[in-house]
Amino acid sequence: MIDPHRLRNELEATARQLQRRGFQLDTGRFEALEQERKTLQVQTEALQHERNARSKAIGRAKAAGEDIAPLKAAVSELGEQLKAAQARLEEVRQALQAIALEIPNIPHDSVPDGEDENHNVEIRAWGEPPAFDFEPKDHVDLGEGLDLLDFDAAAKLTGSRFMTMQGPLARLHRALTQFMLDLHIREHAYREVYVPYIVNADSLRGTGQLPKFADDLFAIERDGRCDEFYLIPTAEVPVTNLLRNEILEHEALPLRFVCHTPCFRSEAGSYGKDTRGMIRQHQFEKVELVQAVPPGRSYEALEELTGHAETVLQRLGLPYRVVALCAGDMGFSAAKTYDLEVWLPGQRQYREISSCSNFEDFQARRMQARWRDPETGKPRLLHTLNGSGLAVGRTLVAIMENFQDEAGRIHVPPILQPYMDGMTVIG
């Protein structure tokens, strides 16, 4: 949610900033509602004041043994008026709230203009795409060739967009997770957390998935209702919501959490896109980095966090580039996002493997995540950030395709070999 004061006081300027990401704010409707809210709120509070004062007078009169019947009658009437005013105010409030919840975050000034991914800007690249003296295969052919990857089996068990792995490939997948967690814990000072994989609607509202993106989620039915519990689409949701309705002491910051979870995405509307292989699945594993920092520090933190994710790719020896998303391509809650894209020889292109974002106070306001500013002693909204460090399934794909040989074998990156009992090659 963006700052309601900002919406009230700088409505036109805010609308222009939102337009950069292709969002049209209906300023006329907002202003009308806001005007009404103001009038109704003042009126309602005046009535409440009146009622409070009169009720107290009744209390005093009763204590003094006076006749209170006429006083009561007078306040009764007030009660009706108050009830009506409150009802109208509540209506207007909810309308305003509904609008506010569907307004995306304002792009930071440093975010490039543009409508879609074609306007994203490459910031830097690392490593060289490998030169093969044979025709490189994609991960599907490699995995199925080794008899270690099976999409048909998963289709039998569940349906499309799931997969099964076996033997050393499943182990490599697990090794990747361990390596990522260890790296972030040991070298980047993150604290590991374990969280529920099912969250309630309040949590999803807090990070911004609800109310707008319910279609991307798997809802869980319970007691005949399916609007309460959902499978997490990313660890971002439970981990960031640890801070919901909390006021942190300054000493606790910055907060750095790393969390490995499965992620579940319905990806409604993505049919026909990346149908082959494990690039786009309903279930995948991810190691997620989440930070909460004082407001003045969040852009510095974004650079650091992006660097932490990059380190994973560098240690594995995977070529990648860093891309600044343009205003039109950013996610709903983000003020600024860097995507990490890894080179996939099977597709001959860079593909997203991590997305690192600064949400500023957008999520914090939704979930009332605050810290006590030592300057004033007063609670203020935190800034939250997160990034994949990394998406495990896609990292596995990158390793398979970049480290294949002509025989269709997969060479284990040296940094992972200790996690594999020294195994150097699969196949």
Task: Show which residues are catalytic.
Answer: 265, 280, 352, 355, 394
Looking at beta carbons only, is 13 or 425 nearer to RNA?
13
x-or-dash string of contact with RNA, 254-293, rule CB under 7 A: ----------------------------------------
Contact 411, 423 (CB under 8 A): no
CA distance 230 to 232: 6
Give every strand in the sheet of 219-222, ordered side by side: 198-200, 225-231, 219-222
Looking at beta carbons only, is 1 or 326 nearer to RNA?
1
Chosen residue from 29, 38, 250, 276 binding RNA by CB under 7 A: 38
Looking at beta carbons only, is 41 or 314 nearer to RNA?
41
Looking at beta carbons only, is 196 or 414 nearer to RNA?
196
Chosen residue from 13, 16, 52, 123 binding RNA by CB under 7 A: 52
In three-state secondary structure terms, 30 is: helix
Contact between 42 and RNA by CB under 7 A: the answer reads yes
Looking at beta carbons only, is 51 or 119 nearer to RNA?
51
Chosen residue from 46, 157, 252, 268 binding RNA by CB under 7 A: 46
CA distance 50 to 78: 8
In three-state secondary structure terms, 425 is: strand
Q: How far is the CB of 38 from RNA (least distance, A)?
A: 4
Contact between 311 and RNA by CB under 7 A: the answer reads no
Contact between 123 and RNA by CB under 7 A: the answer reads no
Chosen residue from 15, 27, 55, 262 binding RNA by CB under 7 A: 55
- CA nearest to 245, candidates 381, 97, 375, 377: 381
Residues 67-86 that bind RNA (CB under 7 A): 68, 72, 75-76, 79
CA distances from 278 to 49, 145, 285, 338, 397 (A): 62, 15, 11, 23, 8
Structure tokens at 252: 């606790």
Q: How far is the CB of 42 from RNA (least distance, A)?
A: 5
21 contacts: CB under 8 Å, gap ≥ 6: 104, 107, 327, 328, 330
Contact between 225 and RNA by CB under 7 A: the answer reads no
In three-state secondary structure terms, 74 is: helix
